[in-house]
Every structure is written in C-alpha cells, then in structure tokens.
Chains A and B, each alone.
Chain A
Amino acid sequence: MIVRASLRGLLHHRGRTLLALAGIGVSSALLVDMTMLASGLTHSFAALTRAQGYPVRVTPAGTLPFDSEAGISEAAAVSQQLREVPGVRSVAPVLGAQLYLVRSDSASEPLFTSGIDPAAQMLYLLVEGEEPGDDEIVVSGPLAEALGISVGDTVSLAVELDVALGRPRGSASYRISGVGDFLFNYAGERSVALPLARLQEITGRSDEVSLFAVAPAADADEEALVERISAAAPELSAYSTRDLTAALDQRLAYFRQLSTILGSISFGVATLLVATIVTIGVRERFGEIATLRAIGVAGHRVQIGIVVEGLALSAGGALLGLPIGLWMARRLDQILLTFPGIPARVSFFVFDGISVALAITLMVGIGALVGVIPGAQALRAPLGSALREEAD
C-alpha cells in the first residue's frame, strides 16, 4: 500500500512526472548512444575483418594493412611459406593499386583496384556473375550503377594517366564477370577487382602483394597462429583481429573519450533529475511521512516507498530513452558514414546488449538510490516537530 501510494503520487503530479520522464528519457538516450559509440566501431570493425573467414593479416614489416605504399616481394614464395604454417587453412593475397577508368579516350576517374586470387579472396561478396578470369574484372555495385553496366559488358582501364595531355596510357579492355559488394568500401565507392597476376603484370609490380589475409583452420587459435606466422616470417608483420582493433582503438581514442565524457554527463544529468524530483516529492510529503511514522509505519517501509518513486522515474525514463537512443544512433551513424574513407559496412554505434543493459541498470539503480538520502533525512527529522510543521 505504501508502494501504491508512492506510484499514485507520481500520477497525481502528472505534469512534473512527465517532464521528469522526458528529461531522464533524453539523458538515457544519450547514455545508450555513448555506450554504443564507446566500443561500436571496434566491434563493428572486428566483425568486418572476420566477415569472410580471414581474421589474420600479414603486411610489410611495421605497417598496418594499406597504411603505406610498401609491398611484400616474392609474394608467391611467401604465400607458400604461409600455407605451410600449421593451422593455416587458406591464404588470400591482395595487391592494391590505382587504375583509371577510360571513357572516350580520356581518363575520367581513378578507381581503387585490387588484385586478388579468385579462388581465395575476402574483399567482396559476389552479388551477380562469377569470379574473374583472365581479362575479366569484378566491379563494385556503385560503379556498375553509375556507368549503367552489368555482367558481360566491357570497360576500359588504364594504368597511368598522362597529366599533361589528360590522356590514359596503357589502357586495356576488360569484360565484367561479376558485380560485387565490396566489404571495405566506403559508401558509394567505385572500385574493381581483377586477378592478382594480371594486376601485377599491368602495374609492373611483379610477384608483389600489399598484404595477405589468412584464414585459420577450424580448430586453430587465432593468437597462437599469429605467433607461428611471426616466427615463420619474421620479416613481415602479422596481426590478429584483436591486434587490428587495438590499433584502431588507439587511433580513435578520441571517440572513446568523447563517449565517456558525454556518457558521464548524461548519467549525471539523469541522476540529478531523479534526485531533484524525488527530493521535491519527499519535501512536499514531509507531513505525510511524519504521519506514517506517527501511526507506526516502520521507517524502512517508508523508505521503500521513496525508493520505489525514484526507481519508477528512472526506469520509466530509461524505457523511454532506449528507443529514442536507438533511433538517434541510426541517424548519427548515417551522418558519420558519409565521411570519406570509412567503410560503409562498419557502424559507429553498435548495440551491445550487455553494455547497454549495464549502463541502464546502473542509471536506474542510482536513480532508485538517490531517494535514500532525502528519505533518510525525512525519517531522521524529529517526529513531533515534523507533525507540528505540517499542522502549521
């Protein structure tokens, strides 16, 4: 009945309760977003790295994937060496280069081009068509859409551009064997992939790759595999997905700091809101509380009523904040992913149920506990004086 009275008290002051719920809801939404942002990109990037079953990267010593122009020479031998490392299921070589799209004898646009092994690649998922053979390429969806081309059509690509004349050099025609969803492309990026040997040949980077992606056997431990690869090829750098996400985390430390600061602020605002509303409510009901004590209601029972009030406000606000937070996260993600160079497949805001539940539970718990202090003050007040004050 004490709890019923507390909850009805909230309904009784509808306007104030609704305003408090709205305030707590917005703070909760921000807290949810900051929790999602704190580790969202890392989780999302890790998932993307593992997407095709190739979680390990091997790069030129001291560099991160595609972090420099450096390449790995004697790629075929290194590839074979990697295949022989125990626990390696597959090795996918990748050579990154820039080709130019040729249209009407003029090079119109640079395209990021990947040389891949069609039998072992982790860059794209085929949307239609098949893997490329000799003189064939796979194009990204945005490129196919922009040029109005599809499987079976032909495009001309040049290796170099004569800057003075604005004309391409060393152009050749390629048949489109497939259209792919390129996993690491940013939104709308136009790119192509063709067999590694062909790209090595036309770019003059014979037997060179930018990196190897390594797929472990089903029972192989990723970290142990990286150690074995490092031992087998000490002249190269090997990274597990955990290493890569750690490197990403280091680079994006400001995101974590931002989310920590904003999350703390929203947490504080929500706590203050609940504390203020509950304190006002307790102050207004000072006489009621004194009456309850006078008629013999135990102090802890009165305190339960006050705590329930804080709990109801913070839980109600959190419930309101969750969908708002998820909606805001989606909108913010859309905005942030329009920044160039960020893979469209990653997400800045990833819903991690445990983290979000922990943050919300903490906020609701603190919201409930903030009622303890004004409650204890009301219960500590001399009963006779409190009753007299109420009567006056």
Chain B
Amino acid sequence: MSEIETLVKELADKHGRKRESLIPILQGVVEKERYLSDEAMTEIARELDIAAAQVYGTATFYSFLDTVPRGKYVIRVCKTISCSMKNGNEVIKAISDILKIQVGETTPDKKFTLLEANCLGWCHKGPAMLINDTPYTELTPQKVREIIAEYNRK
C-alpha cells in the first residue's frame, strides 16, 4: 500500500465512508500533505465508492482544500478592507521580500507558501494572517520577520 492509500484508509476508518465523510477526509489529507494530489483524490473516490469527478468538484470549491502542492507552512494574509486599511499590503510585501516569493508561490525548499485570503475575522486587530491554523494579528513588517524566523527554526 502506498503512503497515500494508507492515509486515506485511516481517515475513512475514522470519518466513515459516506458522502458526508468526504470533506473531513479531504481536510485530513490536506492537513497531512498540505494539498490534494490527483492520486489522493482518486484514492478517496475509490474508498468512498463515488466518482473521482465528485471528489474533484467538491475539493476545488473550497479555498482551503488546495489541489496544487503547498509548502509545509501555508501563510494566508487577509486582504479584506479592515486589514487592508491597516496596511495589510506592507505585510504581504514584507513576507514576499523575506521569503523571496510572490503571492501564490512556494519557496524552493517547500517550507512556505504565501497566499492572500478573504476576511479571517480579526478586523479589529488587523492586519491578520493565518499560518496553517494559527492566527497572528496586529502585524507589522518587523513582527512578521520575527514570526517567520521562528518558523524557520522549527
């Protein structure tokens, strides 16, 4: 059994093999692999006995269910109005400068991906971002540098 087959089977054992189990399984794969490969989606389809197109259709609807390879740490910076008014652009630019990647790109060592996101629900403490599931708020270019340095040490 390949690694992905084992993972999908484990997740299906945990969440069930019903249609309702699909999103939790997709989330589980993303959590582990950071994205959904064609192989993973085909395997999920086989495990749940549904068409691969249905798996792909559901996966591509949700912005957190990535279908292209992502880094170990996915950075999502809020670009919605309250954060943007607090100079969210400077935060994006700072991260871009530090990691030497543009929005949408992944570092060559596959450690970080930089993305923009719609409202993260931290409008009173903008600018805000998520690194995987962890929120960071009231960001400045300096603060961002420290946070990324911390992740680099991990």
Do these two chains interact?
no
List the interface of chain B (C-beta within 8 A of A): none
